């Protein structure tokens, strides 16, 4: 049985995570830390917001062993990494969240702190990096590499052997063709169909996707 688990961030993504964790045997969220101090004392699906992120370094002494990053917004990828690293240096261990309905190949490799949300599919020999998110009903096909802290939004499809580099974001319903590489911190817009590589920090939009000159911050 694990010690206590804290969720870092108490917004909409955290709600989904709480419900996912409740489908996993022996795992339950015990408390939340938030950036927004006006939310302290409130609850999210019955889990209390105990304080702000500056409490993180005291949690180990308070009986917490594990953490989940509960921040999910598109521009939050760098922040998710900062929170993750801060939690690890506070002595906490990242928990991998996997909804009971996620289909994960026995030959896939899922690194610590990844999040596999309801109905997602991770196929043969795919790799999901540390802190990566495969959101509701997203499909990650065989041999794909999803880099650390990358985010695959609901209903997106990443076809065989594609690479989603660390920190990249694939928007809802987008399709990334087989073998394509989406570069570090790049963004694929919702509904885009990506047939060619996207450079680091680039923004790919439309069907077929074209690269917008202005990178998303
Ligand atoms: C790509 C995205 C991040 C752009 O957001 P933004 O930085 O605010 O950019 P803007 O809305 O100013 O759009 C920039 C340009 O891309 C176009 N564009 C944006 N999103 C688009 C989309 N999904 N499909 C087609 N064109 C799109 C805009 O029309 C605009 O075109 P213009 O420069 O010719 O005027 C956003 O539209 C998007 O798709 N987000 C993903 C949402 C999502 O999947 N969320 C999942 C949460 S779990």
What pTM, to 2 d.p., does this model score?
0.94
In tens, the pLDDT along 107-129 reads 999 999 999 999 999 999 999 99
Instruction: Give the architecture (CATH level 2) of 4-95.
Output: 3-Layer(aba) Sandwich (3.40)
Instruction: Find the largest Cα–Cα distance for the chain.
Output: 52
Integer Cα distance of 103 and 188 in angstroms = 24
Please indicate whether residue 90 or residue 213 has the higher confidence score (pLDDT): 90
Confidence of residue 2 (pLDDT cuts 50, 70, 90): low
Confidence of residue 73 (pLDDT cuts 50, 70, 90): confident
Ligand 1 centroid from CA 204, angstroms: 9
Ligand 1 centroid from CA 190, angstroms: 7
Q: Strand 64-69 to strand 4-8: parallel, antiparallel, or no bridges (unpaired)? A: parallel
Structural fold of domain 96-202: UDP N-Acetylglucosamine Acyltransferase; domain 1 (2.160.10)
Integer Cα distance of 195 and 217 in angstroms = 23
Of the chain, the percentage scoring pLDDT greater than 70 comes to 97
Confidence of residue 56 (pLDDT cuts 50, 70, 90): very high
- pLDDT at residue 216 above 70? no
Question: So where are the chain's domains?
Answer: 4-95, 96-202
Question: In residues, how long is the chain?
Answer: 217
Q: Residues 76-92: what's their mean pLDDT?
A: 91
Least confident of 56-65, 150-159, 189-198, 208-217: 208-217
Ligand 1 centroid from CA 84, angstroms: 27
Q: Residues 176-202: what's their mean pLDDT?
A: 96
Which ligand 1 atom is the nearest neighbour of the CA of 135? 48
Ligand 1, pocket residues at CB < 6 Å: 72, 74, 135, 153-154, 171-172, 187, 189-191, 203, 205-206, 212, 216
């Amino acid at each position: 049985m694990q010690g206590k688990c804290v969720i870092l961030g108490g917004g909409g993504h955290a709600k989904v995570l709480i419900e996912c964790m409740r489908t996993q045997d022996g795992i339950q969220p015990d408390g939340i830390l938030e950036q927004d101090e006006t939310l302290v004392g409130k609850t999210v699906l019955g889990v209390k917001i105990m304080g702000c992120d500056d409490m993180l370094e005291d949690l180990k002494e308070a009986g917490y062993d594990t953490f989940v990053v509960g921040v999910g917004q598109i521009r939050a990828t760098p922040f998710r990494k900062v929170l993750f690293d801060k939690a690890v240096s506070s002595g906490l261990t990242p928990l991998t969240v996997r909804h009971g309905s996620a289909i994960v190949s026995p030959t896939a490799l899922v690194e610590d702190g990844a999040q596999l949300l309801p109905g997602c599919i991770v196929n043969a020999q795919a790799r999901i990096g540390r802190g990566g998110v495969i959101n509701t009903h997203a499909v990650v096909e065989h041999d794909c590499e999803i880099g650390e802290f990358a985010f695959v939004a609901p209903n997106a499809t990443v076809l065989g052997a594609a690479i989603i580099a660390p920190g990249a974001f694939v928007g809802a319903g987008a399709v990334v063709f087989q073998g394509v590489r989406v570069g570090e911190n790049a963004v694929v817009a919702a509904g885009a169909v990506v047939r060619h590589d996207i450079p680091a920090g680039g923004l790919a939009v439309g069907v077929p996707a074209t690269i917008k000159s202005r990178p998303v911050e």
